[in-house]
Amino acid sequence: MHVPEAAETSGFKTIEGEFYTEHLVVLGRLACPESRLSDHLNSATTTFDLSPARVQRSLTGLRVNVTGNRAYITKSHLLFVLPVLEPTDIRSGANPRWTPTLTQTCWAGVGRYSLVGSAHMAAEQNPRLFMRSLEQRRFLPLTDVKLTFPDGAVKEYATVIVNRHHVELLALQSDVMQVVQTASDPTPTPGLEQAAQ
């Protein structure tokens, strides 16, 4: 799937994502100095503003008419985020931030959602400290994710960024850890299948 390149204006990059809270699903664009959505979510701010393209209630699917407005989201309310559009320069193999990482398959329960995906940590860290390494960031990018929605539907996504404070249980699978070449904080090319609209 071709993902259009994000625009850059005045040093700010345009990033698009689908933001899930307990009650709402918001598809929107934001402008920020960071190149990766996970970096922006892990920044020191407690809120961020965006231009919503679609807002709907998570339980009923009813749309909320706020298109064309500016909206603010409090990061602590986010359950997880599906990156839709990020700048392409961060996905280049020539990117100096790309380093070997250890990947570990995990299962996570986040509110009414569950997912299976790969968590990452720097390859030079002690693998026995894998869980502790995940605590260094509030928003954790997981890759190659199978996300189960409350209605039982399962969809696959290249990346899901999970708010660690809403993870009720994170279970590491007993598979062998693998070393892969990836960004030190992976948020790979988001060739995402859009969630049902």
* CA-based radius of gyration for the chain: 16
Listed in sequence order, the residues at least 6 apart from 84 whose beta carbon sits closer than 8 Å to its beta carbon are 3, 16, 17, 18, 27, 190, 192, 194
- Residue position matching structure tokens 């986010």: 78
In the chain, what are the domain boundaries?
8-90, 93-183
- Reported pTM: 0.79
List per-residue pLDDT tens for the chain, 197 residues long: 333 444 555 778 899 999 999 999 999 999 888 888 999 999 999 999 999 999 999 999 999 998 678 999 999 999 999 999 887 654 445 555 567 888 889 999 999 999 999 998 877 777 677 778 778 889 999 999 999 999 999 999 999 999 999 999 999 887 555 555 544 444 443 332 333 33
Q: Say if CB 124 and CB 42 are below 8 A apart.
A: no
Q: Does domain 93-183 have CATH number 1.20.1240.10?
A: no
Looking at the chain, the number of H-run helices and the number of E-run strands are: 2, 12
Fold identical between 8-90 and 93-183? yes
Supply the CATH classification number for the domain 8-90.
Answer: 2.30.30
